[in-house]
Structure 1
């Protein structure tokens, strides 16, 4: 650790003031300490020790040069920086400079300089000195101020690091500071004087004498400032150098480091310890505020100062890091050992704001800070405005403040400490907690009764609404000449106050916000808008803005937004939320029965919160317009980590990924929100909230692109974000050629299986057909050898019987008839036998019909067969059915048509089999067609049944003009 010279310092009374003084609303833009959010990172939070230098690089990271090495900080975690190529000559870093090209210049305690470019580090020089400060000239030259025995001013260029000597106008000796002016001049604080290298000159010229270890800084207007008091003050002013003022009792050089923030305030870390803020340093009466461990500084040993891109001021100490973030609000009065209890607020017609705690009264006129006004022996129960006067309720009386004079209000003793006070014309109203509401009439306080609840739970609205609006628990009442009337509608829990203004009559309750709409209350509940819970204060400004103080913080919205939210039950309430992170002292004070928010004449909104009183100026609300740079920190796969990845090739078998990312918004890093997606896996953006890691499992081979975007604390999104492409190599069985081979092999196996199955089916079909043919042959043999032979023998017996009977007798006639019938049966049986023997396999029915025609021709029936269309293939059982239908039709021609001519037409031209059997006989009777059969006969019915079994259609109709047509249609 470097030694420090501690200077004795006397603090001015303004620095030691017990009550904080907020900046007036119309003051210059320079902020007081109270308008910053103060945050410290201690060693236990992971902060490195001995922070001697700070810089913010182009990538947005905050880099810390420490006695333990180089670190980078993203607002959440500290990470040591270790280059992959090269190494730092020393861990003890005393100076940093971020170059516009994204590289980082690093000064070490041993006088060496490192240049970090990506993952590569290069080194310059090895003098026996200490690097104090860097400066970058307009031409890109890097200037280095070094202290120590061999210190001085050095320049880094193409030839390496070079000391500036007498030939360049620099005397021997140490240099404590170097800065680059706006005009391109280089200013140096040497051991005994201040020198400058003007543009176009080759030599440094002295401009003023000074003592050792002074610091230089460039103001926003381009002026050069020096710490301490140069001996030649006249020469310094003539050269354009301004002297940084010091509070009484502080001696130069005082500053260890010095820097201006962009609002023009001057900040110095002190040799005597702590940090000194100087507002209006160029004025005749600058104001000083010292920042010490009392305000949360990790240590009094503070050295580097840095203002980042988002106007946050960073301070490095030997025990941690400290940040001052500009906020919209300021704390005017805070609970401490001397200020206890709740607070009251009131604003009079002239814009004066009054605040009270149990015994003290404070006042803030427009544009002024809150100042103590008076202490009361009795506790202050309530304050309320009455025009330009102020009513103060003590324990047993009311006091009026007119101007600067206090007088007791002429009235009898009040029934108890007033919780609210209101006026309606000349009538005064008060509410006393747990007692009720009272009206001052005829010189006495008269209680007001309520029709539906105990009077002790009733309160009158405070201020101008007193006597008109009353509320008790969750009920609101309006008073007229007829008495109190409860307002119907939605409930918002226990009511705290009523506000009337441009947005209408608004009611603040424990469970939300209600508005009077056509005689009914309509509510925006805290379940719909969580920020509207625990409302105890409402301010309706003339410009239509509405400020609501609740348990979540201070909500700013507008009349238009409220109208839209009430008009559409699904619409969100457009609003902005301010919390303790924005400078407010906590959240809305609860248990109040009057508004905890008022508006001052200068436009500031004042709030009474649970740990103090604060204000916010709507004209000076801080907005973070910078979208946060997004960086992917590392990718982890298979227990291997890839830092700062861009394109990563991973081995085969990688299935799980972990990707760490961050966004470089240092204002409120904990409120940065992220969305990410893995293109090809995620259908849309994944809302990660504040999480800074993404996990993926069971990924296959291929190329995947991960993208992450982020929004800062004000919801400004960086839509471009950061990306990394991940390529996972496939196993051999995951390659396209293997898949193609696998598909081919599978298709071949399926084809072989199909061929085997087809062969099996054909074999089974052939075996079944052969079995059927064998059975048909057997049946034919049986019919021929047994049945037909037996019938033939039987017919011979009948023939002998016929010969034995008397010729012409009835017996002979009957026997002859039976023989004729038996002859028909024999013929049909022979036909069946012949058909069984003819059908030997699948095929077309045409040949079978031809054979049948030839057989019938031998028996006297002349059959003509014609054919159109190609052959068709039918199974044996189908051929049997077709042939049986044709045979039965021709048999009917022979038996019943009375003709010996028949025609068979076979048509298969359109893929269907059509067979028509025509004759020119007497024709089938119409009644048989209608019945579908001849009584006692089953031939026609059997033909229909066989056609149905084929899946075909049989049609029988009378011919034109004579004969019968039988048509069979079978679809293949």
Structure 2
């Protein structure tokens, strides 16, 4: 804080210009309608960071020139609805708060602490606070005085000699004595541990105290303002000396040494013996001024019972009836060779400007033919010629010495313009023609009726080029009493109401509603709103020392660079023009320049530009338009996370699930806060600066977990960027689903889910297989216990019968039946064995095929050719069983019905597939006929059903006399062959292989 104040102290002293009246200051006001949360402002102070603190009857607020924010409270008691009497900031950054009814509090880093020391604060109603140069905090209130030393309060009351029951203010003088003001004895002094009364304040209530650097003390009382220079030396200022009211509520010494006093009837400025008042008639929000504060930019802040007021210097100087102008309906403005500035009005006569105020110089009572002044012209001898609607007169040494009108030779009494030529002759333009006055008589130098009897609007001395006259018939150059029309559009030139001669001899002409014309070296160029002008209805032109063209118009005041316009006219630069317009708030409430007065815009010898308007006179100093202000102190002062306030000046760690982050920021500059621009960047989110303009909040939603740094910078209008020293650091914790291990957990969970599904699938398949196996075992048991046993018994009985039969043929037939029954029994036993073998064929598919084929063909006169792999692929039990049954059915059909001589059985592994082929060279059959009668051939039906069960393709190729081929094509989904080479064998009943 000390460094901040040191930087402020090294700046040039900024304060309200004491050379201007208070009514010429720019007044801004905030009341309930403008967003002020509580109208009664009891105290205003500016903190070390440049922020304004406002204490009210309903809480504490911080103001940045744009918005009012309640004090940020993260911990401790709320400051809402607390009546605040005084504020004081110490070297540790604690803001001490004197309250009514709540005792003494302090706010530090978002925490509100109600002071509790070993002794405790002795008063509930605290009226005033003062931080001494020794670092001690003095507090006064209802009940006496207390001093805070070493974390303990020492109370002074009646027993200690304090005869002020209610202390209202405290001040430390240059000699370190402590002055106490309040009720009762009024004023007391504490020095070297002793309290004493000051007799000059007896029977007065002292409301406020101010210790001056020269050792004097100012005391605002209920009976005026006292100045105490020493023992027995006291002077008073009351309403008799210009004080608005005898009850003084607050005092302030400005940076430039000026004394300000707030009274029950307004504000006043005291400079020496002069007291200048400013009250509700001048725009103050309310009469009772309760507090005054001056910020580091020189603005004055005034708190009243009904609002907040800011007084700051304008970049322009307004002169109105408040500053002594006879009327706000201003007329022509001219500066005499002596430097005296004269202002004519339309209805109030002639005014003189003394450097600070205006005063009436002449009116009808002083001899003016009329109070409506349309034209002014100052001669070399400081004579002032005044053109009115009733003639022209000469003002000399404070009186009218001559009046000229129609009787004296004027074409008409309505004088529109006046000027002197190089021979000091006065040219007079009227609504009915042009004449010249040489000091003795009036003459008509031009006989041409285009000028002699025309309406004259403007007269301008062009030096060696002659005289320029704007008439209702055009614009003419008069030299040696000869007319030369200026080039340009004739209709345009009939409406010229302003003329200026440039430093290069060029002519600048302006008209109402048609813009600006440039005539240089005989070339004419026109410029309008389309080319960048602020307005087309121009009534006056002047050129300043910076070569800027200033123009007054119906919408206000604006300027353009003269050299830029010349460059555009020469074709060296593209349009539009760079036009600067003056904000109405910097001038008068409404800026509309006056028409039909000459000159309406005038440049004085000190470089100022004077504008005549319908609401007074506006003076611009182009050199002071760019006011240098201290670099704005920018900071982030608000942090809301999901609507909850956080400390923005500390690293913030927020829990998972944060959706909204709002960061408020501000710049402590109060001269033109609406022109302060901002930019910000959230490092870790924003790739570059975000230009926010005048917006003072940044919003972020759905930020990813991580650490972010919020940076913000600000710039005054046209100034450089200044960045906040402390960025806001925010860390967003990750929810469990946002952590790096969460995707791994999801992967593991997905894998576990897939494993569980597969496991359940396997269990279901096993359960089905167990059920199938159980059923197969049951069937096998039934076949063994019934069919096989029955066939065995029948076979044995037939063998017994055969032994008793003597007929050889019959015995042979019986033996054939016994042989067939034996074969059927063998097949039945094989089926039962297959049903009971739940793990498939233990010998493998190839071996099972070989065994089955040999068993079927061993009793047949058929040649068997086997083409089987050495090791068959590993297949599911059901697949092997069904393939074996299809092969058995195909071999059986070939052996029994086809009369085949050769049967080929081949099992061929292929990439991703397995082929089973059974081929014979028997009689064959027609596949079409067989399809039509297929319902009677259950063997083929069974083969097709078994193929479908194992998702294999069954193909039957046959034709009469060409044999039959049964082909099964099985996809090996998930199974691979062992790659073993196949082996081939041929078998026949005779034993040849």
Q: TM-score normalized by structure 1?
A: 0.62
Residues 1:381 and 1:489: Cα distance change in structure 2 (over 3 Å) = same
CA contact (8 A) 2:97 2:106 kept: yes
CA contact (8 A) 1:210 1:230 kept: no
- Shift in Å, 1:311: 1.6
Find the counterpart in structure 1 of residue 352 from structure 2: 364
Query: In 2, distance between residues paired with 1:105 and 1:666?
Result: 24
Deviations 1:617-671 (A, max 9, x none): 6787783512222233435565666564754555667676554332222223223
Q: Is 1:347 matched up with 2:335?
A: yes
Describe the SS at the equivalent of 2:270: strand
Query: In 2, distance between residues paired with 1:552 and 1:711?
Result: 29
Q: Is 1:77 matched up with 2:67?
A: yes
CA contact (8 A) 2:713 2:723 kept: yes
- Shift in Å, 1:553: 5.0
Find the counterpart in structure 2 of residue 122 from structure 1: 113
- Shift in Å, 1:470: 4.0
Find the counterpart in structure 1 of residue 250 from structure 2: 257
Query: In 2, distance between residues paired with 1:682 and 1:489?
Result: 57
Q: Which moved more, 1:56-65 or 1:423-432?
A: 423-432
Residues 1:480 and 1:743: Cα distance change in structure 2 (over 3 Å) = farther
CA contact (8 A) 2:104 2:124 kept: no
CA contact (8 A) 1:412 1:445 kept: no
Find the counterpart in structure 2 of residue 755 from structure 1: none
Which of 363, 370, 373 is matched with 1:378 structurally? Answer: 370
Which of 528, 533, 536 is matched with 2:539 structurally? Answer: 536
Describe the SS at the equivalent of 1:133: strand
Describe the SS at the equivalent of 1:114: strand
Which of 134, 141, 145 is matched with 2:136 structurally? Answer: 141
Find the counterpart in structure 2 of residue 469 from structure 1: 468
Query: In 1, distance between residues paired with 2:353 and 2:582?
Result: 24
Find the counterpart in structure 2 of residue 156 from structure 1: 148
Query: In 2, distance between residues paired with 1:183 and 1:506?
Result: 68
- Shift in Å, 1:297: 1.8
CA contact (8 A) 1:72 1:78 kept: yes
Find the counterpart in structure 1 of residue 753 from structure 2: none
Q: Which moved more, 1:538-547 or 1:355-364?
A: 538-547
Deviations 1:928-955 (A, max 9, x none): xxxxxxxxxxxxxxxxxxxxxxxxxxxx
Q: Is 1:413 matched up with 2:410?
A: yes
Q: Is 1:41 matched up with 2:44?
A: no
Residues 1:431 and 1:732: Cα distance change in structure 2 (over 3 Å) = farther
Q: Which moved more, 1:346-355 or 1:407-416?
A: 407-416
CA contact (8 A) 1:144 1:153 kept: yes
CA contact (8 A) 2:243 2:277 kept: no
Q: Is 1:106 matched up with 2:104?
A: no
Aligned counterparts, 1:273-288, within 5 A? 273-280=265-272, 286-288=273-275
Find the counterpart in structure 2 of residue 58 from structure 1: 48
Deviations 1:194-218 (A, max 9, x none): 44455xx343455553133223213
CA contact (8 A) 1:68 1:92 kept: yes
Query: In 2, distance between residues paired with 1:474 and 1:702?
Result: 78
CA contact (8 A) 1:539 1:547 kept: yes
Count of residues paired in the alignment:
707
Query: In 2, distance between residues paired with 1:695 and 1:206?
Result: 59
- Shift in Å, 1:66: 1.6
- Shift in Å, 1:244: 4.8
Gaps (5+ residues) in structure 1? 1-26, 281-285, 747-972
Which of 520, 523, 542 is matched with 2:523 structurally? Answer: 520
CA contact (8 A) 2:292 2:302 kept: yes
Query: In 1, distance between residues paired with 2:58 and 2:268?
Result: 27
- Shift in Å, 1:611: 1.3
Residues 1:331 and 1:178: Cα distance change in structure 2 (over 3 Å) = same
- Shift in Å, 1:561: 8.4
Deviations 1:288-309 (A, max 9, x none): 2322221222222321111122
Q: Is 1:608 matched up with 2:600?
A: no
Aligned counterparts, 1:561-576, within 5 A? 569=573
Query: In 2, distance between residues paired with 1:733 and 1:470?
Result: 86
- Shift in Å, 1:700: 4.8
Residues 1:252 and 1:355: Cα distance change in structure 2 (over 3 Å) = closer
Gaps (5+ residues) in structure 2? 1-15, 751-993
CA contact (8 A) 2:259 2:271 kept: yes
CA contact (8 A) 1:475 1:487 kept: no
CA contact (8 A) 1:675 1:689 kept: yes
Deviations 1:899-946 (A, max 9, x none): xxxxxxxxxxxxxxxxxxxxxxxxxxxxxxxxxxxxxxxxxxxxxxxx
Query: In 1, distance between residues paired with 2:554 and 2:682?
Result: 39
CA contact (8 A) 1:93 1:109 kept: yes
Query: In 2, distance between residues paired with 1:553 and 1:350?
Result: 30
Query: In 2, distance between residues paired with 1:504 and 1:187?
Result: 69
- Shift in Å, 1:436: 6.5
Describe the SS at the equivalent of 2:585: helix
Query: In 2, distance between residues paired with 1:395 and 1:550?
Result: 23
Describe the SS at the equivalent of 2:320: strand
Find the counterpart in structure 2 of residue 693 from structure 1: 697
Which of 627, 639, 642 is matched with 1:623 structurally? Answer: 627
Which of 297, 304, 312 is matched with 1:317 structurally? Answer: 304
Find the counterpart in structure 2 of residue 676 from structure 1: 680
Residues 1:298 and 1:342: Cα distance change in structure 2 (over 3 Å) = same
Deviations 1:82-140 (A, max 9, x none): 63322268711111123343321111123721111121122245545643322111121
Find the counterpart in structure 2 of residue 582 from structure 1: 586
CA contact (8 A) 1:362 1:373 kept: yes
Query: In 1, distance between residues paired with 2:162 and 2:293?
Result: 28
Describe the SS at the equivalent of 1:247: helix
Find the counterpart in structure 2 of residue 922 from structure 1: none
CA contact (8 A) 1:396 1:413 kept: no
Find the counterpart in structure 2 of residue 402 from structure 1: 396
Aligned counterparts, 1:699-710, within 5 A? 700-710=704-714
CA contact (8 A) 1:230 1:236 kept: no
Residues 1:743 and 1:309: Cα distance change in structure 2 (over 3 Å) = farther
Deviations 1:4-26 (A, max 9, x none): xxxxxxxxxxxxxxxxxxxxxxx
Residues 1:223 and 1:248: Cα distance change in structure 2 (over 3 Å) = closer
Describe the SS at the equivalent of 2:618: strand
Find the counterpart in structure 1 of residue 638 from structure 2: 634
Deviations 1:226-281 (A, max 9, x none): 2359999998534887655653486996212122222333222224x32232222x
Deviations 1:544-591 (A, max 9, x none): 676554566555788788889989736998998654433546424153
Deviations 1:384-417 (A, max 9, x none): 2231222222224211212222111374133352
Aligned counterparts, 1:234-245, within 5 A? 236-238=229-231, 243-244=236-237
Describe the SS at the equivalent of 1:587: coil
CA contact (8 A) 1:645 1:724 kept: yes
Residues 1:671 and 1:436: Cα distance change in structure 2 (over 3 Å) = farther
Find the counterpart in structure 2 of residue 766 from structure 1: none
CA contact (8 A) 1:701 1:729 kept: yes
CA contact (8 A) 1:635 1:645 kept: no
Find the counterpart in structure 2 of residue 4 from structure 1: none
Deviations 1:164-187 (A, max 9, x none): 357976446333321133554433
Query: In 2, distance between residues paired with 1:157 and 1:342?
Result: 63
Q: TM-score normalized by structure 2?
A: 0.61
The structure with more radius of gyration: 2
Residues 1:203 and 1:583: Cα distance change in structure 2 (over 3 Å) = farther
Query: In 2, distance between residues paired with 1:66 and 1:681?
Result: 40
